Amino acid sequence: MKSSRALLLLLLFVAVAFGAWKFFSSRGPGAADHLTVYYTKLDGTTLGRWPVSLRTQQSGESDIEHLHNMVLYAAVQAVAGPPSDVSAIRFPPGTHVLGVNVHGSTATVDLSKDVTSQGGGSFGETGEFKGLVYTVTGVPTIQAVQVTIEGSTVATLPGGHLELDTPLRRSDF
Amino acid sequence: MLLAAASARASTATYLFDGRPLALTHVSHAAGAAAVGINDPGLRSLVRSLGAVITWHPGERYVLITTGAAQVISFSVGDRGYDVGPLSATAEFAPYLVGSEVYLPLADLLRSLSLAPRSDGNATVLQREITSIDVRGSAQQAILVARGAGSLSPRVASESGDTIVYAFDGFGSTLEGSRPVDAGGVRSMQVRVTGSVRNPRTLVTLTLQPGTRHDPPRSNDGDFEVAFGGGGSAPPLLAGGASAPVAAAPVATMTPVAEPTPPFASASPPDGTNASAAPAGTTIATVGGVSVQNGSDGATVTIPVVGNAQFAWHRLRAPDNRFWIDVQNAHLADGPLDQPEPDPLISVRVRQIDPQTVRVALSVAGSKNISVSPSATGIAISVGTQEVADGPHFGSGSVGTLVSSNEPQALVTPVPPDEYGQNDAGATWKFGPHSTYVPTRPKLIVIDPGHGGGDVGTTRNGVTEASLTLDMAKRLQAILVARGWQVQLTRETDVDVKRTTQSAQEAISDGYRSTDAQDLQARDDIANNAGARLFVSIHVNSFINSGPSGTTTYFSKPDDVPLAQAVQHDLAATLGTKDDGTIKSKLYVTLHANMPAVLVETAFLSNPDDYAKLNSADWRQRVAESIADGIDQYAKQYPVPSANQ
Ligand SMILES: [Zn+2]
């Protein structure tokens, strides 16, 4: 009983504090409530799109945190790709996003080393990263994507073709 | 600041999964129902064995789980709404924090992973479920697609002249029953669950017409897919649903496929009632928040379904171009919908056409390609912009997972419409400006045989990209020299261009910092230091499956465009390969060459037809001749500024 009353009081306090915070804080720029996942079709260059819902900025979620979360969501969706019955150039099986970071207009996307498991040609590399870059730069304010693998910047994938040691932009493709 | 639930004590719950005990140790009941902590070692191992990956860091509000079937499940602290792929649903309660650890609603998490908790004595078994079985049919073929928890690779339990039985060992399902198919030589499909709670087995029996062939089954990102066709006499068009349902197995939850009753005189889809009735004692599923997202690639209609339902869809041939899907054993949560839509749709109508059936009808502008993708949480229908001569024209299936009766039926919210405001043509230039680069040696062309030494490039059956590219480069060198060019190769033998002692494994631990960049830069340095006129890199393409084929010339800089166009111009036609055109990409060697540079991906080693071509010396000679022709053509069109030689 005591603990539930304490909980109620705490919740009341939090609600009031929160309402006040919300009242005084300025909301970020019109947060998008959807995200376009881009993927590269099997012609090696044409983009397909797959819309997914995107959470609006939650109460208590700062602009910076929301941007981080949108970038994370975008990167994870891009690496997962469209549903399995859609033909798309996909990252090698097992590839996943370890984390993201946002510095200014550049998002760093850290990938698991599974991404290096595919001894592919320019086709796979171009298609995979084009989809990732288009998807992540679909997040407002993000212009470029720096790819890292297990935390390290790499010049290219091993035996690779695409340059990865500088940020990738839509205009690179 | 994230809101944390007040004190919550973690307890342990033990389950059986895949025949072994699975203990969840971070279980809390702070919100009234069970929640599980994201750092729970038992949960982590469960997710891993389903081929799924969790993305979450302490302090982060979002928990993202990518399933083996490439679907992203997304939860967020403080938000009851969660997403599974394109579909949104509402959880029993919002995820919350205990300390820095996110706790997720256990029942919703299990359902989104296609797992069903079922009791067996004092134990609770987490059963893998088959959550959708879908048959897409045309007169010529039927494709069966099954989806569920983890990767599906059933065995053929029995096969006779007129039946084939696939056994999914370890899988349960709530999709039991029989239904007519009548496509591609498949007469009917029956789903039956046998075995025990601990060792379930779902049997899918297909009754076939005599002589029906079937492809070997294939696994597509965890889905199970098998195609049938070509048996006996051609089945009638739009045959689905014409016959009475076969008597259902123990728990009869299937209803007949709605009668399409073609042809239709009116312009609107058939909204008549049908005779199907939900079997007594069956919980009815809920359809809510049907939504449409439009994009330049077409439209996607999502139909969220909570509970178990069967569906059947039909499309009429041109010029009628209507499509409708009936979700049976379902109740429409919202009111009817009737709205005009932009191309490729004309309109979307949603109706409860009888007490058990929700119909979503699309009017389509032309004979567009349509695909129907069921999942555990609903059905997505994609309508493309391309006209197709003939595609599947009906299909049926079942979707759903176990929803226990004491659980509230979650309200479903629509996925908001998509907007495609961005100009993603980006800065891709179609025509490069005339090169301002002035070569110091205007007769010199540097040819770069891709890979070599420690890096063999792509390989197949002992054939390496490095050896093929060296062979083609030497052929090209001979031709160009005969035509009066000077040629330098970046390597003459099978070596790294920047010799390195690092192994690939060392390179990985070193973050690939040195080897690859040095090797590629060394190739550019040869051309840059010599002041060559052109740089041509020769490669062999590859992909994880054998599908893609063809010839592409890649480029990176505006200066490269005319050379890429000249080289690609007749290349594929000469080689008999698919013409994949010129593609812009940020490839290292072309980007860092000062002069016009291209990278020719001659063909795919991973494609059987291309592989055979690559193995032919004749064909490789033709590659060299055609690239040389392209270079000559370019040189004629773009003479060197103030060339005196
Ligand atoms: Zn290569």
Q: Is residue B643 in some structural domain?
A: no
Number of domains in chain A: 2
Q: Is residue B269 in some structural domain?
A: no
**B626 and B554, same domain (yes or no):** yes
pTM, full prediction = 0.74
pLDDT of residue B353: 83
Smallest Cβ distance to A84: which of B86, B221, B459?
B221
**A167 and A102, same domain (yes or no):** yes
User: Are the Cβ atoms of A122 and B512 closer than 8 angstroms?
Assistant: no
**B236 and B341, same domain (yes or no):** no
pLDDT of residue B627: 97
Q: Is residue B260 in some structural domain?
A: no
How remote is the CA of residue A122 from the centroid of ligand 1, in Å? 7
CA distance A26 to chain B (A): 15
**A49 and A124, same domain (yes or no):** yes
**B576 and B454, same domain (yes or no):** yes
Distance CA B492, CA B447 (A): 10
**A21 and A40, same domain (yes or no):** no
CATH at B392: 2.60.40.3500
- Chain A residue numbers with beta carbons less than 8 Å from the beta carbon of B293 are 34, 51
**A7 and A71, same domain (yes or no):** no
**A62 and A128, same domain (yes or no):** yes
CA distance A108 to chain B (A): 15
**B156 and B295, same domain (yes or no):** no
- Contact between A68 and A100 (Cβ < 8 Å): yes
**B444 and B394, same domain (yes or no):** no
Token reading at B549 = 């084929």
Distance CA B381, CA B367 (A): 15
Which of B405, B440, B470 marks a domain boundary? B405
| DSSP character string of A128-163 | HHHHHHHHHTTSTT--EEEEEETTEE-SSSTT--B-
Distance CA A153, CA B108 (A): 38
**A76 and A25, same domain (yes or no):** no
Mean pLDDT for back-to-back runs of 10 residues, chain B (645 residues)? 50 89 92 91 95 92 90 93 82 92 94 91 91 76 84 86 90 84 83 92 90 76 75 34 27 31 32 35 72 80 80 76 84 84 88 86 86 76 80 71 39 28 33 68 96 89 94 97 96 69 45 62 93 97 92 95 94 94 95 96 96 97 97 92 52
**B211 and B294, same domain (yes or no):** no
**B382 and B488, same domain (yes or no):** no
Which of B235, B254, B273 marks a domain boundary? B254
Q: Are strands B285-287 and B330-332 parallel, antiparallel or unpaired?
A: parallel
- Chain A residue numbers with beta carbons less than 8 Å from the beta carbon of B222 are 84
User: Are the Cβ atoms of B585 and A172 closer than 8 angstroms?
Assistant: yes
Number of domains in chain B: 4
Q: Is residue B310 in some structural domain?
A: yes
Distance CA B417, CA B300 (A): 10
Q: How many CB pairs under 8 A join A and B?
A: 250
Give this complex's ipTM. Answer: 0.82
pLDDT of residue B266: 31
Q: Is residue B265 in some structural domain?
A: no
- Chain A residue numbers with beta carbons less than 8 Å from the beta carbon of B512 are 149, 152, 154-158
How remote is the CA of residue A120 from the centroid of ligand 1, in Å? 7
**A24 and A104, same domain (yes or no):** no
**B458 and B585, same domain (yes or no):** yes
Q: Is residue B275 in some structural domain?
A: no
Q: Which ranges of chain A have pLDDT less than 50?
A: 1-3, 7-32
Q: Is residue B303 in some structural domain?
A: yes
**B521 and B599, same domain (yes or no):** yes
**A46 and A5, same domain (yes or no):** no
Which range marks the domain in which residue B29 is found?
9-113
Q: Is residue B448 in some structural domain?
A: yes
**B175 and B323, same domain (yes or no):** no
Query: Distances in Å between the alpha carbon of B106 and those of B13, B27, B170, B219, B306?
Result: 11, 9, 21, 29, 17
Q: Percent of chain A scored above 90 by pLDDT?
A: 61
pLDDT of residue B400: 63
Which range marks the domain in which residue A24 is found?
1-30
CATH at B169: 2.60.40.3470
**A113 and A142, same domain (yes or no):** yes
- Chain A residue numbers with beta carbons less than 8 Å from the beta carbon of B88 are 53
**A97 and A157, same domain (yes or no):** yes
Distance linking the first and last C-alpha atoms of chain A: 63
**A60 and A19, same domain (yes or no):** no
